[in-house]
Amino acid sequence: MATNSNSNSVNIASLPQAQLATSEDLLILETQNGTQTIQFQNFNVVRTDVAGNATVVGNISGDIADFGNIYTDTLQANQVLSNNELGTSTTYGYYNQFKTTNGVIVSAAYIVGSPEYLLLLNLFSTLSGNSSPAYKKVYEFNTVAEIPNGRITSDFIYAGSFPNDSSGNSVGALLGGSSLYSSYFTITPFSEGTTTPATPTTPSLSAFQYINPGPGSDYFSFCIALPSVNSTGFATKYGLKITYFYN
């Protein structure tokens, strides 16, 4: 029972119920020092130390929590968002294109025709075209050709240091003496860091020569040529690869 200033007994159960507690409202506490009050704004249901760090015993539930930083051993969530982008869940499979937002994967897809796909496809095509029961080695040459604005061809490109096959023949002589030598050349638009636009026309080999001045010093010389003048306003680059299999 509680008493008012006139010492009339009041049953607190009969008092009207408050619909909302504000910071200045008082709570009655029965303490070791007697009956005292505490403002609602100072009422704390968690343990705090002298620095104000709180420790919660048990579970916390609610609708919204806003923290500057969270450090946790285990995080379980039905949904994870980063910058309002929802993380994605995918089935087992191979994905080669991802979008991440602050470490959360928000999309994943497989893109046919991606760079590694094209490299594997070109390699498979080359291997299939040169398949043989015999073990084969490979001679590979890589470079980048640049066709300046206003020109049709690149500068001359030189390839050498050819190995010998099992019969002692130079791979350069085998490749250069073949009427199908151009089939061993792959020319593709080149991108270096940022996209370098390429002309819409397809380049080809030009002025190809096989030079054999002496053993171990043979080489190719050739250019990359366009069917018409490069008028794009900038130099265009092409990646060039020679792949030749031999016994």
pLDDT in tens, 215-225: 889 999 999 99
Task: Return the minimum-mean-pLDDT range out of 52-66, 69-83, 196-210.
Answer: 196-210
Higher pLDDT, 193 or 149: 149
Higher pLDDT, 198 or 55: 55
Whole-number Cα distances in Å, 41 to 20, 27, 136 = 13, 10, 83
C-alpha closest to that of 159 among 138, 142, 137: 142
Residue 171 has a pLDDT of: 93
Residue 155 has a pLDDT of: 95
Whether pLDDT at 65 is above 50: yes
Inter-residue long-range contacts of 118-125, CB under 8 Å, 24+ positions, other chains counted: 118/188, 122/186
C-alpha closest to that of 233 among 118, 148, 115: 148
Q: Which residues contact 152 (CB under 8 A, 6 or more apart)?
A: 225, 226, 228, 229, 230
% of the chain residues with pLDDT over 90: 21
C-alpha closest to that of 108 among 93, 127, 128: 93
What is the rounded CA–CA span in Å between residue 141 and residue 138? 10
Section 159-169 average pLDDT: 91
What is the rounded CA–CA span in Å between residue 164 and residue 178? 16
What is the rounded CA–CA span in Å between residue 111 and residue 117? 9
Residue 128 has a pLDDT of: 66
> Structural domain boundaries of the chain?
133-246
- The pTM assigned to this predicted structure is 0.45
C-alpha closest to that of 241 among 143, 153, 120, 171: 143
Section 231-239 average pLDDT: 84
